[in-house]
Amino acid sequence: MFSGKTEELIRRMKRAQIARQRIEIFKPALDTRFSEKDVVSHDESALQSTPVTAASQILLLAMDAQVVGIDEAQFFDSDLIHVCNELAKAGKRVIVCGLDQDYLGQPFEPIPSIMAIAEFVTKLHAICVVCGSPANHSQRLIQGQGRVLIGATESYEPRCRECFDLKLSSQEVDIAATKSD
């Protein structure tokens, strides 16, 4: 989180618009943090998008686009891999952004599988709020229920490998599991 993934997606999509390419951006309908419809970065850059509840909807809605953007891809199921392949086979440029690790530092599918089939991968890093090094982890700051907890600065902060506290994240899982028993 906080590495500029959505900001980079918006930048690339705007460049496609300047090139007069037809674009379409999709986001998971469950991500309503900043807007129900638009993709919005932490620096408040925004572009109109289409919220979808399932990756399979993207295939139906993207056929007229030349460039397809997909934001917060970690919130889609593994069908997104098939969707990306089909769009690419149809000659579309597909730009996907999302977290490759969850708050426990575990691979966050479908992103690792999409990275494996992509022609190009750009891995962005945030800045660790503890020491200032490049950060590749999302430290959850609040107790949450399960793997997906939609949030921003109130819920997560970027941490480097050294400052990431897996014990803290693991305790939160144990606390959440205990409360639901």
Q: Mean pLDDT over residues 1-18, rounded? A: 93
* Helix, strand, or coil (residue 94): strand
Residues of the chain with CATH 3.30.60.20: 126-180
Please state which architecture CATH assigns to domain 126-180.
2-Layer Sandwich (3.30)
Q: Mean pLDDT over residues 131-150, rounded? A: 81
- Superfamily name with CATH number, domain 5-117: P-loop containing nucleotide triphosphate hydrolases (3.40.50.300)
Select from 77, 112, 72 the least CA-distant residue to 95. 72
Which tokens in the block code for residue 138? 């999302």
Which has the higher per-residue pLDDT, 153 or 87? 87
Active-site position among 24, 72, 157, 172: 72
What mean pLDDT, rounded, does the chain reach? Answer: 87
Q: Residue 180: pLDDT band by 50, 70, 90 thresholds? A: very low
Quick check: 151 pLDDT over 70? no
Model pLDDT for residues 68-126, shown as the tens digit of each residue: 999 999 999 999 999 999 999 999 999 999 999 998 999 999 999 999 999 999 999 99
Residues of the chain with CATH 3.40.50.300: 5-117
Whether residue 72 lies in the annotated active site: yes
**Cα–Cα distance measured from residue 72 to residue 169, given in angstroms and rounded to the nearest whole number:** 21
